[in-house]
């Protein structure tokens, strides 16, 4: 969903003529957080067995997002998917060039996925659950 939403937001912003805002999806890697607190206890134990060498602290995991957001090399780059830096990827490198990722990610990168209906449903659902009805194509309201 994150990849689809990123691509759709980028598309809508470009259609609206917004050129000074970029949106990208960033995979931080395997980060030690409390997000798995409701997972199956067996899965939780498996993750605890993984060496800390492979599990990043939240501070290190955040470097990928911050790096993409602040990189001068990526100024103007939008609607893309980046992997974390623990995989030794250069900033701006697509994860699917170096990692085994889903067919969906590859299709999104190459623009071969016909996903308009799915993206529209995702966009509508996102607005519903967040209570938002923001549309970058709508004219700005004067305050």
> What's the confidence (pLDDT) of residue 96?
42
CA distance linking residue 132 with residue 113, whole number of Å: 27
> Has residue 135 been placed in a domain?
no
> Has residue 91 been placed in a domain?
yes
Asked if pLDDT for residue 63 goes beyond 70, the answer is yes
Choice between 98 and 16, residue whose per-residue pLDDT is larger: 16
Domain range holding 100?
2-130
> Has residue 56 been placed in a domain?
yes
> Has residue 137 been placed in a domain?
no
> What's the confidence (pLDDT) of residue 110?
57
CA distance linking residue 88 with residue 124, whole number of Å: 36
Rounded to two decimals, the pTM is: 0.65
> Has residue 139 been placed in a domain?
no
> Has residue 74 been placed in a domain?
yes
> Has residue 30 been placed in a domain?
yes
Q: 61: closest CA among 29, 97, 15, 17?
A: 29
Tens-place pLDDT, residues 85-136: 544 444 444 444 444 345 555 555 555 555 677 777 788 888 888 898 877 6
Domains identified in the chain, total number: 1
Q: What angle in degrees, to the nearest 10, is found between the helix axes of 2-15 and 103-110?
A: 10
Q: pLDDT averaged over the chain?
A: 74
> Has residue 142 been placed in a domain?
no
């Amino acid at each position: 969903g994150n990849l689809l939403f990123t691509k759709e937001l980028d598309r809508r912003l470009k259609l609206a003529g917004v050129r000074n805002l970029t949106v990208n999806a960033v995979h931080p890697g395997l980060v030690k957080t409390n997000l798995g607190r409701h997972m199956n206890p067996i899965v939780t134990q498996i993750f605890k067995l993984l060496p800390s060498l492979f599990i990043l602290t939240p501070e290190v995991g955040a470097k990928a997002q911050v790096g993409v957001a602040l990189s001068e090399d990526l100024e103007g780059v939008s609607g893309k998917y980046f992997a974390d830096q623990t995989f030794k990827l250069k900033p701006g490198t697509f994860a699917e060039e170096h990692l085994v990722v889903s067919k969906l990610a590859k299709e999104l990168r190459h623009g071969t996925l016909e996903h308009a209906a799915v993206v529209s449903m995702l966009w509508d659902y996102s607005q519903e659950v967040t209570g938002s009805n923001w549309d970058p194509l709508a004219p700005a309201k004067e305050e």
